[in-house]
Amino acid sequence: MQSLSSSSIEGTLLSLSAVVILLAAFACLGSKLFNRYVAYYGLQSIVLSFAAAVVAYHYDNAQLWALAILTLAVKGLAIPIAARRLLLRRLELKRDVAMSTGLSTSLIIGALLTAFAYLAIRAQDLPHGVVASSVVPLSTAVVLLGALIMVVRRHTVAQLIGWLITENGVFLGAITLVATFPFIVEAGIFLDLVAAVLIMVVFVSGITRRLAEATSSELMELRG
């Protein structure tokens, strides 16, 4: 099996997709409106499914085709639609105000994390001339940016989006670094299940409002 070289057409497409995925994560980090979060996430997932399809085409691997279709159907379409219908409209979410740092500060931290991702991954001896060496640092940056969104946003729906972005980063890394990973589809299915559960919890409980507008006494309940 030939590994994906960075000069081939597939390699170029994959690198470009990775850049778009990173930009979508930054766009999400720099946004304040809930429907934009969902839109950027949907865009990111569609690009990810395209990237998975490129890798699947290159290796002619049925598992990766399945992952690409699964990503498109669940993350590209189902989750954004469900999030819009169940969360944003029902709970009337528009503008996210529950942030612990300002937008510019979080963007700067995001840039630092991206630089850190390059430092941390460059040290690993990734094979030279292979597309993985340019994409894996980007995917690691996406993982860190997702986690950053979870940290700086206090609203449950925003945290949910942050986790979903982290997950996209993991799968971008997985398809470029270890395309033959045997559990890739199962992992995808399981994480989608988790996403479904998370959406359910937020929906059923309506804790979105409670956490977002939590008074200090409510925050004191589960302290320490």
Partner 1 sequence: MIALVALVVLLPLTGALAVAVRCRARGAGSALIAGAIGSFAASIALAAAATGHPHLQGIGGFLYVDPLAVFFAITVCLVVVLAAFGSAAYLRVEEDRGELSSFQVRLYFVFFSVFASGMLGSLFAGNLGLLWVLIEASTLASAALVGLEAKARSLEAAWKYVIISSLGVTIALLATLWLFYAGSALHLTSNERLTWSYLFAHAHALQPGSLRLAFLLAVVGYGTKVGLAPMHTWLPDAHSEAPSPASAMLSAALLNTGMYAVIRFQAIAKAGLGNAYPDHVLLVFGFLTLFVGVIFMVRRGNFKRLFAYSSIEHMGIVAIALGFGGILGLYGALLQVLNHAIGKAVLFLSTGDFVLGYRTRESSEVRGALGALPLAGGVLVLASLAVAGCPPFGIFLSELTIVRAGFARSAPVLTGLLLLLLVVGFIALVGTTLAMATGDGPEPLHPYPRRSGRLLAALPLVSGLGILALLGVWIPGGLNEIIVHAVRAIS
Give the interface with partner 1 as residue ranges (CB under 8 A): 120, 123-125, 143, 147, 150, 156, 159-160, 163, 166-167, 170, 173-174, 177-178, 180-183, 186-187, 190-191, 193-194, 197-198, 201-202, 204-205, 207, 210-211, 221-222, 224
Evaluate whether 140 touches 173 at the Cβ level (below 8 Å).
Answer: yes
If the CB atoms of residues 104 and 221 are measured against partner 1, the closer one turns out to be: 221
Identity of the residue, 13 or 175, whose beta carbon is nearer to partner 1 in the bound complex: 175
Of 102 and 180, which CB lies nearer to partner 1 in the complex structure? Answer: 180
Provide the CA 116 distance to its chain's centre, in angstroms: 18
Shortest distance in whole angstroms from residue 137 CB to partner 1:
13
CB of 152 to partner 1, least distance (A): 14
CB of 37 to partner 1, least distance (A): 16
Give the three-state DSSP class for 206.
coil
Residue pair 98/211 in contact (Cβ under 8 Å)? The answer is yes
Separation of alpha carbons 38 and 28, rounded Å: 8
**Cα–Cα dist 76/81, whole Å:** 9
- How far apart (Å, rounded) are the C-alpha atoms in residues 98 and 185? 35
Measured from the CB atom, the residue of 27 and 214 that comes closer to partner 1 is 214
3-state secondary structure at position 9: helix
Q: Mind giving me the DSSP string for 40-60?
A: HHHHHHHHHHHHHHHHHHHHT
CB of residue 191 to partner 1, shortest distance in Å:
7
In the complex with partner 1, the residue whose CB is nearer, 104 or 110, is: 110
Nearer to partner 1, 9 or 222 (CB): 222
Q: Which residues pair with 5 in a beta bridge?
A: 130
Residue 81 Cβ vs partner 1, minimum distance, rounded to whole Å: 21
CA distance 184 to 91: 34
**Least CB distance to partner 1 at residue 166 (A):** 6
Least distance between partner 1 and beta carbon 86 (Å): 15
Residue 22 CA to residue 43 CA, distance in Å, equals: 11
Separation CA 194–CA 146 (nearest Å)? 16
85 vs 210 by CB, closer to partner 1: 210
